[in-house]
Amino acid sequence: MSSLTSPDSSPSPFRPKSDTPFFFGLGSLGGFYLFLILALILALIIVPRWGKSDETKLLLMSVPLEEAVSHLKAASKKAGVTALDKEVEDALMEARELADLKPKGQAKGVLVKQTSTKARALANIKLSELAKKADSEKVDIGREIDQAKNSLLNAVAFDRPSDYTAVFNDPRIRASAKLSFVSCTISALLSLWVAVPIGYTMSRFQFRGKNLIDTILDVPIVLPPLVIGLGLLILFNNISFGTMEVVYFDRDGSQYIVQENRTIERMIQQAGTSLGFQLRVTNGAAGVVLAQFMVACAFAVRTMRNTFDQISPRQEEVAMTLGSSRGEAFWNIVLPQGYRGLLAAGTLAWARSLGEFGPILIFCGINAHRTEVMSSSVYLQFSIGEIEKAAVVSLLMIALAFVVLLLVRNLGKSDAMPNR
């Protein structure tokens, strides 16, 4: 008879704990942030399309229409018993009918269309002809007629097919989109040009003061963007390097010379003048690129340093023992291995430049067709109450950033995993 005891067939008291709470916590926290991002984008999509109902449009149109009536009343008083009295009264009567925005058996949408059509005709045809007649008859009502025309056209502006169409047909916003794309691309290329050597130096070499330099390189990341813009403005326009003679031209064509402070901006302008063209940084497109570069380059530097830190220096050392110089080892061994980090740094710099606003506002201002970028357009449209237009421009910025990010990531994956 065997002395071995039979195994205990009773069930084990140990039970693995459920992972449901753990995964629920991960999903709820991560899902909340993802939901918040999608909700913000959805809100930007909804507002321009359904931001103003027909009832709201009628309410908004009533204010400028009443203003047009008051301006025509003032014109009627000035016209008095002149030959234009009857025509001014007819225009005033028509404006009063337009201001009476009460649906009379028709839908509110139809009333909006009819009111905008009649108001446009009154402003562009009847009042334009009346202004010409007043000028020829020497009747001083031109100012009142112009004000009435502007009020009528302001009322017409509330009846537009959609805020998407209004934005994409606006030449000022199209110019800001073009400047944003060009300036962000230049800024990203400049950032890579600077970030690659700095990142490589900080990754591979040890020297006195390295921690201090590393801290300085991170300053633009933590500084408020407005401070960077203020610093650029003071650097280029307030720090003097002596005095210089600046030539000004009077209205009659005569020139006179003034002694002014020799600032960096004035020296740049003088150099441009000597070469035969106008060159400026402050309040110019070059200033937009510089303001974007000052912030975006810091992110590119940090990305490139992390990239080079992950590449072992062993292969470089072997190449140099075989006769290669450090430069040849860098171009032939290190940089090809860090191409994905290079793409990531360029993408991050481009996207960061696209959203830059504070330094551009302080250093360059907001000048149409010169320094206005899409972030500035969002601010301007919001400041005048056009939140729908601001939302459309914001959506355009999101679309541009999304396309660039998606394109670069797909390129990186296709190179890294050719068989998938």
Residues 6+ away with beta carbon under 8 Å from 38: none
| Lowest-confidence segment of 4-8, 186-190, 193-197, 264-268 by average pLDDT | 4-8
Please give the pLDDT value at position 161: 56
Residue 189 binned pLDDT confidence (cut-offs 50, 70, 90): very high
Each residue's pLDDT tens digit, 239-275: 877 777 766 666 666 666 777 777 888 888 778 777 7
Each residue's pLDDT tens digit, 305-353: 999 999 888 888 888 888 888 888 889 888 888 888 898 899 889 989 9
Percent with pLDDT over 90 in the chain = 21
Strand partners, 249: 255
Residue 295 binned pLDDT confidence (cut-offs 50, 70, 90): very high
Mean pLDDT value of segment 185-190: 94
On whether the CB atoms of residues 302 and 221 are closer than 8 A, the answer is yes
Each residue's pLDDT tens digit, 11-34: 556 566 667 777 777 777 777 888
Q: How many CA atoms lie within 13 A of 4 on its CB side?
A: 2
Mean pLDDT value of segment 208-234: 91
**pLDDT reading at 408 higher than 80:** no
Please give the pLDDT value at position 129: 85
Please give the pLDDT value at position 8: 55
- Residue 131: count other Cβ atoms within 10 Å of its Cβ: 19
- Domain spans in the chain, listed from the N-terminal domain onward: 54-159, 168-239+282-416
**pLDDT reading at 187 higher than 90:** yes
Each residue's pLDDT tens digit, 63-72: 888 888 888 8
Residue 58 binned pLDDT confidence (cut-offs 50, 70, 90): confident
Each residue's pLDDT tens digit, 359-372: 999 999 888 888 99
**pLDDT reading at 420 higher than 80:** no
Q: Could you tell me the CATH superfamily of domain 168-239+282-416?
A: MetI-like (1.10.3720.10)
Mean pLDDT value of segment 168-180: 86
Closest CA to 373 of 215, 189, 145, 173: 173
| Lowest-confidence segment of 118-122, 189-193, 298-302, 386-390 by average pLDDT | 386-390
**pLDDT reading at 49 higher than 70:** no
Please give the pLDDT value at position 308: 92
Kindly compute the dihedral angle of the four CA atoms of residues 265, 271, 272, 274, in this order, to the nearest 10 degrees: 150
* Torsion angles phi and psi, residue 139, rounded to 5: -100, 125
If one compares 131 and 302, the residue with the highest pLDDT of the two is: 302
**pLDDT reading at 416 higher than 60:** no
| Lowest-confidence segment of 118-122, 232-236, 291-295 by average pLDDT | 118-122
Closest CA to 153 of 88, 65, 230: 65
Three-class SS of residue 244?
strand
Please give the pLDDT value at position 418: 45
pTM score? 0.69
DSSP 258: E
Q: Is 369 left (phi over 0), alpha (psi -120 to 50) or beta?
A: left
